[in-house]
Amino acid sequence: MGRIGNIVDRKNKQDSKKAKIYTKMARLITVAAREGGGDPEYNAKLKTAIDKAKASNMPNDNIDRAIKKGIGDLGGDSFEHITYEGYGPSGVAVILEILTDNRNRTAGEIRHAFDKNGGNLGTSGCVAFLFDQKGQIIIEKDDSIDEETLMMMAIEAGAEDFIPAEEAYEIITTPEDFITVKNTLQAEGFSFFSADIAYIPQTEVALQGDDIKKMNKLIDMLEDNDDVQEVHHNWNEVE
């Protein structure tokens, strides 16, 4: 199983925890609406958040409620964006995207997860240089999709790279061109397994033995935390 296969597999595992996923998606939508307004046509971050929520089958009522919280029609907590960086077992680089209403609580919980699984929470910038921030669109393979047609559409829309994998197609863009490429492919009728700005590792690290178990446990603990929106790492999960 390659890198994209692992992304697909892990997202499927995440989707089994619907209540927790909906909590995270609602928080993301609320913050996007608060920062840029409640109309997704004029708020690219909100449109992306809504698309992510719909991809996880979040009910429309939940989405509407989260938008209303963001624009002040309903009461709600104030969340802030934080990026944490750290090291997993054997020096695996980890970047976390956080939305929290209590920075001290979140820092303690994140530090505990690292400490318990052979890693440690690092300082800002300690691993970010090992990643490139890119737009990443993943489309699962389907008999109805012609690979060459999809590739040409993506490249013509501004994509930097098109990577066919066993389970899916990965389309890479600059952060600036992400929305244009995404909207173009969406208008052509393509459905996305995922579409977001992601941290793509420049190189990957292999693990062995107990370190594999520790890294899996670390990722599980981080993803189970309501404050953690995304977990990025440079572990090559192919065993």
In sequence order, what are the beta bridge partners of 95?
A: 85, 232
Give the C-alpha distances (Å, rounded to integers) separating 60 from 35, 41, 51.
21, 17, 11
* Tokens 């992306």 belong to residue: 48
What's the token pair of residue 183? 């909207």
What's the token pair of residue 158? 């501004």
End-to-end CA separation in angstroms for the chain: 8
In tens digits, the chain (239 residues) has pLDDT values of 566 666 666 666 655 577 788 999 999 999 999 999 999 999 989 999 999 899 888 999 999 999 999 888 666 668 889 999 999 999 999 999 999 999 999 999 999 999 999 999 999 999 999 999 999 999 999 999 999 999 999 999 999 999 998 889 999 999 999 999 999 999 999 999 889 999 999 999 999 999 999 999 999 999 999 999 999 999 987 65
One-letter amino acid of 116: K
Lay out the sheet containing 194-201: strands in order across: 161-164, 168-173, 131-140, 194-201
Residue (of 188, 192, 227, 229) closest to 54 by Cα position: 192
Cα–Cα distance for residue pair 189/5, rounded to 1 Å: 23
Q: What's the pLDDT at 15?
A: 58
Residue 133 phi, psi dihedral angles, 5° rounding: -85, 115
Domains of the chain in sequence order? 3-71 (1.10.10.200), 80-125+202-233 (3.30.70.980), 130-201 (3.30.70.980)
Q: What's the pLDDT at 20?
A: 84
Cα–Cα distance for residue pair 216/201, rounded to 1 Å: 18
Confidence (pTM):
0.83
Cα–Cα distance for residue pair 186/166, rounded to 1 Å: 22
Cα–Cα distance for residue pair 183/114, rounded to 1 Å: 37
Task: Mention every residue, 6+ apart, whose C-beta is less than 8 A from residue 13.
Answer: none
Cα–Cα distance for residue pair 213/220, rounded to 1 Å: 11
